[in-house]
């Protein structure tokens, strides 16, 4: 059929030419960008996978960067600890040197000056060692992140001289705050023990004038009461009660725990004459502590006249000589009074090994013969001007001013060197672990990049073939379009 209105061949050639030109754009885009997936329409699922891989790669890269920074931080901490180690070794040299008996006190004073400066420098390093403003050796630095990627937990302790050394000894009396309320051990009918203390639910008779008391406490006679006959009392406490009530009662312990402290109590007693004083029960520390003249002992106390008035007494007992030092001697002058908590502080007058003794008691202030009272004790402390050699447990406490102190300092510094060296070893191990983490994260990142490339990147050989193919098709379409247009010119021959 010969027609001129519709050139089907030209239309067909044009359509294929447009299609070839359109198909040519995709290989050109991929060859220009290097990516097989340039938009979601190229491969929706592949784009989602590639994006997740890209996020993982960034995660691995950041973990490597963080690990490198952490290694730098640990190197800074280890360098500071290395310097501390050097100073601790010098301190140990001074301690060994001072322990030699050939030196005078002036020589040891000179060594003490160097010791003091070295200890101060160790504290300065512990306080000021930082990395990017982060303190490292003051006990605040730690990294944790078990759920994170390539995060290795680490914690650096405090390395001030007040925290390194020996920790197993106690400077004050055991259970000095009476937080440990048990176990309670029954020693005999009227004697019970709690951690650090022994309570006797028995009557105590203090001494008067120049005569010591008849009651044996801690292996020695009870001390002489400096005010044996207060207020209306005339006999002191040497008259036993007519009725003992809870005192020396096999069914009673005479103590309890209230208001955070230890309570000694007695109730249901009856005086014989009226205005009598009855002391008991009492508590004594189980172990003695060396206390130097000039040191201060202190404790918190209060009293309550439950059946009448309270009469309390406390003292230090030198376990080597039996000598005593009165700490408190207080008798209420009226019944039913409860005092507020108060702190009693006393300067120790003589050096010795001491136990604390607290004696509760009651006074018949009304003359009505009913007796009973309570005594509360808490926070028993020793405030020392200078620790004894065997209590200098921390580097901040050591001294080389005597042979005994120097020998003790040697042991303390040996322990502190071990502690510091152990942390240095830990830091070295963690640095190596972080390095392994860096290697692992780097390899995983590389593998992920290769996997992403297979999903996302363009294959240049394939795309070049596709481009060449579409270019040839486009050129062929143009040629056929020309042929189709020229083929209709034969119709004109019919009109001649």
Q: What average pLDDT does the segment 322-346 reach?
A: 93
Q: What average pLDDT does the segment 214-232 reach?
A: 91
Q: How confident is the model at residue 169 (pLDDT cuts 50, 70, 90)?
A: very low
Count of domains forming the chain: 2
Residue 262 included in any domain: yes
CATH number for 411: 1.20.1330.10
C-alpha to C-alpha distance for 450 and 57, rounded to whole angstroms: 11
Domain finish residue from 445, 470, 485: 445
β 370-383/342-347 pair status: unpaired
Q: How confident is the model at residue 195 (pLDDT cuts 50, 70, 90)?
A: very high
Q: How confident is the model at residue 471 (pLDDT cuts 50, 70, 90)?
A: confident
Question: 363 with 323, same domain?
Answer: yes
CATH number for 205: 2.60.120
Residue 219 included in any domain: yes
Cis check: omega of the bond before 352, within 30 degrees of 0:
no
For 460, the token pair is 């240049």
Residue 39 included in any domain: no
- Compare 96 and 472 and report the one with higher pLDDT: 96
Three-class SS of residue 475? helix
- Closest by CA position to 91, among listed 412, 419, 418: 412
pLDDT at 339 over 90: yes
Summarize pLDDT for 417-452 with one digit per residue, the tens: 888 888 888 888 888 888 888 888 888 888 888 887
Query: CA-CA-CA-CA torsion for 431, 435, 436, 438, nearest 10 degrees?
Result: 140
Sign of CA dihedral 440, 442, 445, 446: negative
Question: 222 with 366, same domain?
Answer: yes
pLDDT at 46 over 60: yes
Tell me, what's the pLDDT at 496? Answer: 59
Three-class SS of residue 303? strand
Question: 201 with 327, same domain?
Answer: yes
Q: How confident is the model at residue 56 (pLDDT cuts 50, 70, 90)?
A: confident
The continuous run of DSSP H or E covering 310 comes out as: strand 309-318
Q: How confident is the model at residue 162 (pLDDT cuts 50, 70, 90)?
A: low
Q: How confident is the model at residue 495 (pLDDT cuts 50, 70, 90)?
A: low
pLDDT at 204 over 90: yes
Q: How confident is the model at residue 190 (pLDDT cuts 50, 70, 90)?
A: very high
CA angle 89, 94, 100 (to 5 degrees): 130
Instruction: Kindly give the residue spans of alpha helices, DSSP state H, lying in 176-237.
Output: none
Placement of tokens 């040197």 in the chain: 97
C-alpha to C-alpha distance for 277 and 240, rounded to whole angstroms: 9
Sign of CA dihedral 134, 135, 137, 138: negative
Question: 275 with 416, same domain?
Answer: no
Question: How many CB atoms are located within 10 Å of the residue 40 CB?
Answer: 11
Q: What average pLDDT does the segment 388-409 reach?
A: 74
Q: What average pLDDT does the segment 326-351 reach?
A: 92
Q: What average pLDDT does the segment 76-83 reach?
A: 89
Question: 66 with 212, same domain?
Answer: no
- Work out the percent of the chain whose per-residue pLDDT is above 70: 86
For 73, the token pair is 């931080």
- Compare 467 and 265 and report the one with higher pLDDT: 265
Q: Mean pLDDT check: name the lowest of 159-163, 207-211, 282-286, 353-357.
A: 159-163
Q: Mean pLDDT check: name the lowest of 8-22, 96-110, 204-218, 394-408.
A: 8-22
Summarize pLDDT for 366-385 with one digit per residue, the tens: 988 999 999 999 999 888 76
Question: 379 with 324, same domain?
Answer: yes
Domain that holds residue 189: 185-386
Residue 492 included in any domain: no
Q: Mean pLDDT check: name the lowest of 14-23, 110-119, 420-429.
A: 14-23
C-alpha to C-alpha distance for 332 and 148, rounded to whole angstroms: 66
- DSSP E strands in 26-164: the ranges are 130-131, 134-135, 142-143, 154-155
Query: Crossing angle for the helix pair 105-128 and 44-98, nearest 10 degrees?
Result: 170
- DSSP E strands in 364-408: the ranges are 370-383
Residue 251 buriedness (CB in 10 A; 0-12 / 13-18 / 19+): exposed
C-alpha to C-alpha distance for 266 and 268, rounded to whole angstroms: 7
Q: What average pLDDT does the segment 87-91 reach?
A: 89
Placement of tokens 């002992």 in the chain: 297
Residue 345 included in any domain: yes
- Work out the percent of the chain whose per-residue pLDDT is above 90: 29
Question: How many CB atoms are located within 10 Å of the residue 207 CB?
Answer: 21
Domain finish residue from 445, 465, 484: 445
For 45, the token pair is 């699922």
Tell me, what's the pLDDT at 147? Answer: 45
C-alpha to C-alpha distance for 226 and 309, rounded to whole angstroms: 19
Question: 129 with 243, same domain?
Answer: no
- Name the DSSP letter for residue 3: -
Q: What average pLDDT does the segment 336-348 reach?
A: 93
The pTM of the full predicted model, rounded to 2 decimals, is 0.56
Question: 365 with 316, same domain?
Answer: yes
For 204, the token pair is 């105590």
Q: In the chain, what is the straight-line distance between the N-terminal and C-terminal CA atoms, in Å? A: 19
Summarize pLDDT for 309-321 with one digit per residue, the tens: 999 999 999 999 9
Q: What average pLDDT does the segment 254-277 reach?
A: 91
């Amino acid at each position: 059929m010969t027609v001129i209105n519709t050139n089907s061949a030209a239309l067909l050639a044009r359509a294929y030419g447009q299609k070839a030109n359109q198909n040519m754009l995709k290989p050109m885009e991929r060859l220009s960008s290097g990516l097989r997936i340039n938009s979601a329409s190229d491969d929706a699922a592949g784009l989602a996978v590639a994006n997740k891989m890209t996020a993982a790669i960034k995660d691995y890269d950041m973990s490597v960067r963080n690990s490198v920074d952490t290694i730098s931080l640990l190197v800074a901490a280890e360098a500071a600890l290395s310097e501390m180690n050097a100073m601790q070794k010098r301190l140990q040299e001074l301690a060994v040197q001072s322990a030699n008996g050939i030196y005078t006190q002036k020589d040891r004073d000179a060594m003490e000056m160097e010791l003091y400066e070295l200890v101060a420098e160790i504290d300065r390093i512990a306080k000021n060692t930082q990395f990017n403003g982060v303190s490292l050796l003051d006990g605040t630095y730690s990294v944790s992140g078990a759920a994170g990627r390539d995060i290795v937990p680490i914690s650096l302790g405090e390395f001030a001289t007040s925290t390194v050394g020996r920790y197993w000894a106690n400077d004050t009396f055991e259970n000095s705050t009476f937080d440990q309320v048990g176990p309670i051990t029954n020693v005999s009918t009227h004697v019970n023990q709690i951690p650090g203390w022994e309570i006797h639910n028995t009557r105590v008779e203090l001494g008067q004038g120049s005569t010591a008391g008849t009651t044996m406490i801690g292996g020695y006679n009870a001390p002489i009461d400096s005010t044996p006959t207060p207020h209306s009392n005339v006999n002191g406490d040497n008259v036993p009660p007519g009725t003992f009530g809870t005192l020396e009662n096999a069914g009673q312990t005479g103590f309890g725990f209230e208001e955070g402290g230890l309570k000694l109590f007695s109730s249901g007693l009856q005086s014989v004459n009226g205005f009598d004083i009855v002391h008991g029960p009492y508590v004594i520390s189980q172990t003695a502590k060396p206390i130097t003249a000039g040191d201060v002992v202190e404790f918190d106390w209060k009293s309550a006249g439950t059946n009448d008035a309270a009469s309390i007494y406390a003292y230090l007992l030198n376990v080597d000589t039996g000598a005593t030092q009165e700490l408190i001697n207080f008798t209420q002058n009226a019944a039913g009074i409860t005092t507020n908590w108060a702190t009693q502080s006393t300067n120790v007058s003589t050096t010795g090994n001491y136990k604390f003794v607290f004696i509760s008691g009651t006074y018949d202030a009304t003359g009505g013969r009913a007796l009973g009272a309570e005594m509360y004790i808490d926070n028993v402390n020793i405030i020392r001007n200078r620790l004894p050699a065997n209590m200098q447990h921390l580097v901040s406490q050591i001294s080389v001013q005597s042979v005994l102190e120097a020998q003790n300092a040697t042991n303390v510094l040996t322990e502190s060197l071990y502690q510091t060296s152990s942390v240095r070893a830990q830091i070295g191990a963690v640095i190596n672990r972080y390095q392994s983490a860096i290697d692992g994260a780097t390899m995983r990142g590389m593998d992920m990049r290769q996997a992403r490339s297979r999903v996302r990147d363009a294959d240049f050989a394939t795309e070049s073939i596709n481009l060449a193919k579409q270019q040839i098709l486009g050129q062929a379409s143009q040629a056929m379009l020309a042929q189709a247009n020229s083929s209709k010119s034969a119709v004109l021959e019919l009109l001649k």
